[in-house]
Amino acid sequence: MIKVAQLGAGRMGAIHARNAAANPRLDLVALVDPRPEVAGPLAQALGARLASFDAVLADPDIKGIIVASSTDAHLDNALDALRAGKRVFCEKPLDLDLARLLTASGELEKAEGKLFVAFNRRFDPHYQALKAKIDSGQIGEVESLHIVNHDPATPPPAFIPTSGGLFKDFTIHDFDLASWLMGERPIEVFAWASCLIDPEIGRLGDVDTAKVVLTTATGRLCMISNSRRSGYGYDQRIEAFGAKGAARVDNLTNTAVSVWSEAGAQADRFPFAFIDRYAGAYAAEMDHFADILEGKAAPETGFAASVAALELAEAAACSAATGAPVRL
């Protein structure tokens, strides 16, 4: 088993730590967090010790570090771990500021193969199957893509000021998926955004509803629909339209049972949150990190994917603010 340590014991940290501890190829030996009252119970439950970041970096037996600290610390933490010779799993985004991220480009480009930035949706088995159908040519050349990404309910107001905004916190998943599924980088972004759900989000300087159109160099189009509140559960759908047909991923339900009666057909509920809908994807990306540590795979996403998604997020914010398309 390969010894790893983790920074952060918050909501995402708890997900990653449990997946690391459950992975038969990884040994989660240490947890780093400035809040022992939060990290202590999690570490005890998983058989890990509490440690300082300096101690983890200095330990030659620890080969990998999982960065699930606060978002504003991701880049610095990842760089420190890479400088110490560790391989790094970093929760997305790598940073919230494109200019700051690019200042570290020389060092991060040299770390290719050692840095995995976890865009978890690429590891969802349903999206992987959709990607395989597209790549096989079964629906012909992809001409357009529709991505629906709607949360079931708004986050607490305290989350908004540190989130980076809707496009960097939320739509960033869709930007990465669009490039991956179309096999081509968008070169133009046109975004519309409003605050329609919670006035407090608007007061804090963010939006809660958006539509984004991406255009590639060959003219392929992607429409992204975002909302912080659906009212009916976690809405996650993708449709790909090609020259020979279409392929789609519909919403999953908690069970596959449906009831038919005079009132019509009734199906089970959708998963309520990302933790449930993408549980398998989170476990799969940790398994991918084990492959990286064992030298069996190169990181699926790293610095380049982080830059590409953040560039689109900043362009979308600019477009929404100015009412004009932004060409990259």
Residue-level pLDDT, tens digit, the chain, 328 residues: 999 999 999 999 999 999 999 999 999 999 999 999 999 999 999 999 999 999 999 999 999 999 999 999 999 999 999 999 999 999 999 999 999 999 999 999 988 899 999 999 999 999 999 999 999 999 999 999 999 999 999 999 999 998 999 999 999 999 999 999 999 999 999 999 999 999 999 999 999 999 999 999 999 999 999 999 999 999 999 999 999 999 999 999 999 999 999 999 999 999 998 999 999 999 999 999 999 999 999 999 999 999 999 999 999 999 999 999 999 9
pLDDT tens string 232-254: 999 999 999 999 999 999 999 99
The residue to which tokens 């690429």 are assigned: 122
On whether the CB atoms of residues 63 and 4 are closer than 8 A, the answer is yes
What are the start-end ranges of the H helices in the chain? 11-22, 36-46, 53-58, 74-83, 98-103, 105-110, 125-135, 160-163, 166-169, 172-182, 199-203, 274-277, 279-293, 303-322
Question: The tokens of 273 are what?
Answer: 């949150």
3-class secondary structure, 167: helix
- Domains of the chain plus CATH, in order, are 2-120+282-302 (3.40.50.720), 122-272+308-327 (3.30.360.10)
Rg (CA), the chain: 20
DSSP β-ladder status, 115-118 and 87-91: parallel
pLDDT in tens, 34-60: 999 999 999 999 999 999 999 999 999
Q: Which two tokens stand for residue 276?
A: 């449930």
3-class DSSP assignment, residue 31 = strand
- The total of other beta-carbon atoms located within 10 Å of residue 114's CB is 20
Angle at 64 between CA 43 and CA 296, to 5 degrees: 130
Give whole-number Cα distances, 125 to 54, 122, 275, 282, in Å: 37, 8, 15, 11
User: What is the pLDDT at residue 112?
Assistant: 85
Q: Which strand (E) or helix (H) includes residue 65?
A: strand 62-67
Q: What percent of the chain has pLDDT over 90?
A: 98
